[in-house]
Amino acid sequence: MISFILNDSDYTTSLPPGASTLDLLRGEALLTGTREGCREGDCGACTVLLGIPVDTGTEYMALNSCILPVAELQGRHLVTIEGITPEQGLSAVQEAFVDEGASQCGFCTPGMVMSITGYLLSTQSPDLEAAIDSLGGNICRCTGYVSVRSAAGEIVGRTGPSPAVDPASARHLEFLVEKNVIPGYFLGIRDRLRSMRGPGTGDGHGTGIPVAGGTDLFAAGGPGLRDSTMEFLLNDSSLGGIETADGWVRLGAAVTVSRLISSGVFRGMGDLQGSLRLVSSTQVRNRATIGGNIVNASPIGDLAIILLALRAYIETGRGPGGSRRLALRDLYLGYKELDLRKGEIISAVSFPAHEPSRGYSFEKVSMRRHLDIASVNSAAAILVSEGTIREADISAGGVAPVPLYLSDTSAMLAGMPVTADTVQSAAESAMGEASPIDDVRGSARYKRVLLGRLVKSHFLKLFPGILDPAALL
């Protein structure tokens, strides 16, 4: 049995741990304001909020209920659109949507309202750009985005900055209650959750399919996982640390993309920090993990491509021979084939800390800028001294069966001057190392040429006063 608080009521379900929260809401709890759309975490129509007890209070985040297993609800607060609507009238966010005409057919509206409410719960200083970013995982079937943006601006203006020092604190919740963003019952949730047992790392057996965020696993095989025995790694505190020591950054494999962003470990490393916003959507980033992105072995995984250029290493655990440490570039043996032994999991990822003399760059081309996987993506880390490239590390996705470290191109650049001829040679070398295929994201020829352009883009971004764009056309 799984027990949690659903809106303002204690709730217990006998559904198996792998059942989707969306099915629980619509089929068992009969809360149909949460809409069923894609069932892949892509459209945002089923967005809910999940409140998790932390030391300072209750931390809320927006999640896609279609790829959220019910096991993750144990001892937590699940909030649906019904749970933020006052008994009389509308919440402040709902009022803003009405005032700005931001609801057309209405199918996507509950998910959008939940996304912005989740954003306001997670920040003390709301601003329009971040509010709009919080809607990156919500698709409007009627293309009413202009009015939705207006509604986001309206609610940010109405709410204003919170006097609280922590968004998880009771003072922040009190502020949002005063602003009519959330109902008053939120103020008693923390005490009610204390009496409930929180989630463990497993479903009661401690063994089974290892699952972290499951954002890809449940999107691809949701119904088939319903009755499976699973071990939920996202709740294992030993896999969630972030440390910087002795010139290295070490990230637990269960660190989510959202936590990676808030940690700021990429801050100062070129555009890497900002590029993390291109990794899926807020709802997915709140659960997707570093280890999951790596072990998924997608040829176009954004984090894997960035980490390859950072000379990252992985640490493993639970293997028959104990823990191991190996270079990330050596992990990928073939399409979806990893150098992991039976029972072994990735426990951490580490890479050299930021070096001021090294330039960093990430490029991604996709059909949609947000909430989409790349046609081709690429990362670069280049160390230059006195006009000469001392070290170069370039990686690329979408051009090979695996996330590809461009070893020949990287080695060729060492000792070369930063000139147009060098960059042209690097682009040609990268295209030669690539082995793309034709698919829905582009032809093999297109991807190969695009990779060459992305390599040039890295250099133009990192050396704007040295290289002439016209010379690289």
pLDDT in tens, 56-100: 999 999 999 999 999 999 999 999 999 999 988 999 999 999 999
Residue 363 lies in a domain: yes
Whole-number average pLDDT of the chain: 93
Q: Are residues 131 and 278 in the same domain?
A: no
Taking residues 129-146, report their average pLDDT: 90
Residue 203 lies in a domain: no
Residue 453 lies in a domain: yes
Predicted local confidence at residue 200, as pLDDT: 64
pLDDT bin (cut points 50, 70, 90) of residue 222 is low
**429 vs 70: CA distance, rounded Å:** 48
CATH number, domain of 36, equals 3.10.20.30
Q: Are residues 91 and 187 in the same domain?
A: yes
Q: Are residues 190 and 261 in the same domain?
A: no
What CA–CA distances, in Å, run from 275 to 362, 445, 462? Answer: 7, 26, 15
Which of the listed residues 194, 227, 261 is the one where a domain comes to its end? 194
CB 201 within 8 A of CB 229: no
pLDDT in tens, 371-412: 778 999 999 999 999 999 999 999 999 999 999 999 999 999
Taking residues 1-16, report their average pLDDT: 96
Question: What one-character-per-residue DSSP string does 336-349 give?
Answer: TEES--TT-EEEEE
Q: How many residues does the chain have?
A: 473
Give the list of residues 6+ apart from residue 363 with CB closer than 8 angstroms, or none: 377, 378, 379, 454, 457, 458
CB 44 within 8 A of CB 111: yes
- Range with lowest mean pLDDT among 135-149, 218-232, 291-305, 342-356: 218-232
Domain count, the chain: 2
pLDDT bin (cut points 50, 70, 90) of residue 202 is low
Structural domain containing residue 114: 2-194
Predicted local confidence at residue 88, as pLDDT: 87
Q: Is the pLDDT of residue 207 over 90?
A: no
Characterize 391-405 residue by residue with b for buried, 16 or more Cβ atoms within 10 angstroms of its Cβ, and e for exposed: bbbbbbbbbbbbbbb
Which of the listed residues 194, 227, 252 is the one where a domain comes to its end? 194
Element at 458 (helix H, strand E)? helix 444-462
pLDDT bin (cut points 50, 70, 90) of residue 203 is very low
**458 vs 413: CA distance, rounded Å:** 13
Q: Are residues 127 and 66 in the same domain?
A: yes
pLDDT in tens, 274-292: 999 888 899 999 999 999 9
**128 vs 146: CA distance, rounded Å:** 13
Q: Is the pLDDT of residue 204 over 50?
A: no
Of 111-115, 218-222, 239-243, where does the model show the most confidence?
111-115
Predicted local confidence at residue 201, as pLDDT: 55
pLDDT in tens, 414-469: 999 999 999 999 999 999 999 999 998 899 999 999 999 999 999 999 999 899 89
Bridge partners (DSSP) of residue 20 are 69
- Six-digit token pair at 35? 């809409």
